[in-house]
Structure 1
Amino acid sequence: MKKYVFPLMLLGTTVVMSCGNGGNKESETDTTTTVTTTDTSTLADNTVTTGTTYSSTPLIGADTTFVKEAASGSLMEIESGKLAQQIAINPRVKSLGEMMVRDHSKLYDELKSLASAKNLMLSDSLSKKSKDHLEAMRKMTGKDFDKHYPEMMVKDHTEDVRKFEKASNSANDSDLKGWVDKTLPVLKVHLDSAKAINQSKM
C-alpha cells in the first residue's frame, strides 16, 4: 500500500497549484482602484465594524466644494457642541451639544476617509468666522447660551438639510451621493431636536 502514497501526494500538489494559478486572470483585466475604510459604530455594548469601499476617482467641481463645506460645518458643530456641554445650564441643551459632538465627529471621520480615497486633503482648522463665533459664545452666560445655541442649531441644520438634499440630487460621484443619502436622516434628526428645544419654554 505504501507505494501509492507518493503519487497521490503529487496529484494533490498539482491540483493545489492549478487552483492558485487560475486566479491570476482577474488581476490582468481589473484596472479599478478602490480604497477600503473601516466604519465602526457602537450599539449598546456591542461594537459593529463594517468595511466601506470607495473608488479613487477624484471629485470634481461642485462635489469638491460640497465636501469641503460639509467638513468645515461638522468641525463647527463639534466645537460648539463642546461649548454647550460646558456652558449650558439646561440639561436638554447640554444633551443637544453632546449629540452634536458624537454624531458630527463620526460624520467628519467618514468624510475624511472618503476625501482621502479621492486624494482630497481636508483642513482640520476652523474658518476665522467660525472662530470668532465660538469666541463670542464663550463669553455668554448660561441662560444666554441656552437661548442662543438651539437657535443656532436650527439655523445651521436648516441650511445643512437644504444643501444635502441638493447634493443628493446633483452629486456626480456615486460614493459621495451614497454618503450624503446616509447622512441626511441624521441631520434631519438634529434639526427636529433643535427645533423642539428652541420652541419649548426654558
Structure 2
Amino acid sequence: MKKVSYVFMIAAASLAFQACNSGQKDAKETADSLNKTKDTTSSVASTGGIAVDNDDAKFATDAANGGMAEVALGKLAITKTANAQVKQFADMMVSDHGKANEELMSIAKAKNITLPSTVDADHQAKMDKLSKETGKDFDKDYVDAMVDGHQKTLDLMQKEAKDGKDAELKAFAAKTAPIVQTHLDAIKKIQDSMK
C-alpha cells in the first residue's frame, strides 16, 4: 500500500510541476523535471525513487542530450559532406557516442534516472540549420558545432569525474573524458585545415 501511495505522490508531483510551467519543455527539460520529483531518500525498488542525487541525474540528462546530438549530427554529416576528413570524423561520432549512449542508458535504467528521448531545442535548432546547408558552408558550421559541443562535453565529463557523488556515473565520466578529448583534438585539426 505504501508503494502505491508513493507512486501516486510522484505522479501528482510530476503533473503539478508540468502544470506550473506555462511554456513548452523540450525532452531534456522534461527529464530533468521528472528526476527532480523522484525521491532520493528511500529504496528505489519500493518507491520508484531515483538512486542518485539531483546533480548526478542532471549530469546524466546533459550527457545523454549531448550524446544523442553527436550521433544525429554525425549521421547528418555522413550524408551531406563531400570532405573525407569530416565524413571520417562523423563516422567516429556515430560509433563512439552511440556506444557511450548505450552505456549511459544502462546506468540510468538501473538507477531509475529518466533520460531525454530526443535532443533539446538548442540542438534541434542546430540540426535544422545544418540540414538546410550544403558544401563548404555545411562543413564549416558542422565542424564549428563539433568543436563547441566537444568542449562543453569535455567540461561536463571532467566535472562529473571530479565532483560526482555516484560511483558509476563518476567512473563513466572518467572513462569517457579522454575519448571526448581525442574527438576535440581531431576536430580542431580539421577546423585548422579548413582555414
Whether these two folds match at TM > 0.5 is: yes
Q: Deviations over 1:14-35 (max 9, x none)?
A: xxxxxxxxxxxxxxxxxxx9xx
Letter in 2 for 1:74: G
Instruction: Tell me how far apart the structure 1 counterparts of residues 183 and 164 of structure 2 sit (CA, whole Å).
Output: 23
Give the TM-score normalised by structure 2. Answer: 0.72
Q: Give the aligned partner of residue 169 of structure 1.
A: 162
Aligned equivalent of 2:13: none
Q: Aligned partners of 1:99 and 1:63: how far apart in 2?
A: 27
Give, in angstroms, the shift of residue 158 of structure 1.
Answer: 0.9
Q: 1:22 matched to which residue of 2? A: none
Q: Partner of 2:56: helix, strand, or coil?
A: helix
Q: Give 5+ residue unaligned stretches, structure 1.
A: 1-32, 34-55
What is the distance in 2 between the residues matched to 1:57 and 1:176?
14
- Alignment-derived partner of residue 197 in structure 1: 190
Q: Which runs of 4+ in 1 moved over 3 A?
A: none
Aligned to 2:142: 149
| The structure with more helix, counted as a fraction of residues | 2
The answer to whether the 8 A contact 2:147-2:188 is kept is yes
Q: CA deviation at 1:123?
A: 2.0
Q: Residues 25-71 of structure 1: CA distance to partner in whole angstroms, max 9, x if unpaired?
A: xxxxxxxx9xxxxxxxxxxxxxxxxxxxxxx9801121110100000
1:45-103, CA deviations, whole angstroms, 9 ceiling, x for partnerless residues?
xxxxxxxxxxx980112111010000000010010000110111111001111110111
Amino acid paired to 1:170: D
Structure 2 counterpart SS, 1:124: coil
Percent identical among aligned pairs is 35
Structure scoring higher RCO (CA < 8 A, sep ≥ 6) equals 2
What TM-score do the two structures reach when normalised by structure 1?
Answer: 0.70
Q: Are positions 1:106 and 2:83 aligned together?
A: no
Question: How many Å apart are 1:129 and its aligned residue?
Answer: 2.2
Unaligned runs of 5+ in 2: 1-42, 44-48
Give the letter for the 2:53 counterpart. I
Tell me the distance in 1 between the aligned counterparts of 2:84 and 2:165. Answer: 42
